[in-house]
Amino acid sequence: MKEIVDTYMADVCGKYDGETLREIGPHLGLEADKFLDIEKAREEVNKIAGDTGAEINYALTSLGTWRNPGTGEYLSIDGEWGGIGEDDPEEFFRQINNARLELRRPGGEVPKNEKWYAKIGGHFPEKLLPMLKAHSHLFDGLKIGAFRTPDFDLLDQKYEELWKFCEEMEWPVLIHCSSSNDQDCFRIFGLAQRYPRARFCASHMGGDNPKEIEQRAKSLRRARTPHRNFFLNTAVEDLRMVRKAISMWPKLLDSLVIGSDIPFLGDDYSKAIQRISDHFSERELKRIVANGKRFLGNGGR
């Protein structure tokens, strides 16, 4: 590939007192060194660009410190960070976006080919919106992360002002989709219809569940997906399932963008890019890259 637009390259750790924190690893049962720091992410991109001559544009999200240095508590799946939740939304936002906020300091310039998502857990979006607005100049889009059970409806009224703000900013919105909550993908499809000036990506092909991806493609075909502002990314364990979805509905290719999801799908970016190249033709990759440009747009900075 001579051009790469990776809409979700990496989760990077924040820093506390100058030390990169990786304590999230034991909490999730993952190796701590699976989480990239900013310098490592940039080094990998620059090496590949130098070796291949490829132009690489990529987007990052912060893992914050994800552990309260004072109490040692972790972010829990119900949306509280180390005991910090909706009662202290300013601190919650600062901690969950720590890696990006660190770059406000002298010497913390961001390369032109690097974009950042502001991250919120999604459990109390209305309380995080003031902080998001106050720091919007630092970000290029929004990621809704964390775990959501089906009762967390992204079309709920409590998200309305958030989506309107994303429309106003003309931001790309990346939404984590759990394999156990198949409602997310179709709710994101609904968001794309309701808020046409924002752009929405259902990550992990709408939920990385091989049994559901094929059926999901059938459902989206019946719904005639509004591909101009609805996207799916390639961050799945088995890209053969993406091929199968495309074979069921070729027009799905117009909604597909690259999401390597480093480090969760591996910590070697060159292998991640090779993996993408092996599964798509050069013609398909050109379309996917064009989709990525359309999704990321100009961003907020």
pLDDT for the residue 26 = 45
Tens digits of pLDDT across the chain (301 residues): 789 999 999 888 766 555 555 444 444 444 555 667 788 889 989 999 999 999 999 999 987 655 554 555 555 444 555 567 788 888 888 878 888 888 877 667 899 999 999 998 778 899 999 999 999 999 999 999 766 667 778 999 999 999 999 999 999 999 988 776 677 888 899 999 999 889 999 999 988 887 788 888 888 888 776 668 999 999 998 999 999 899 888 889 999 999 999 888 887 889 999 999 999 999 999 999 999 999 999 654 5
C-alpha 226: how far from chain center: 20
Q: How do the domains of the chain map onto residue ranges?
A: 3-296
Contacts made by residues 44-51, CB under 8 angstroms, sequence distance 24+: 44/268, 44/269, 44/270, 45/9, 45/113, 45/269, 47/270, 48/269, 48/270, 48/273, 51/270
Determine the topology of domain 3-296 in CATH.
TIM Barrel (3.20.20)
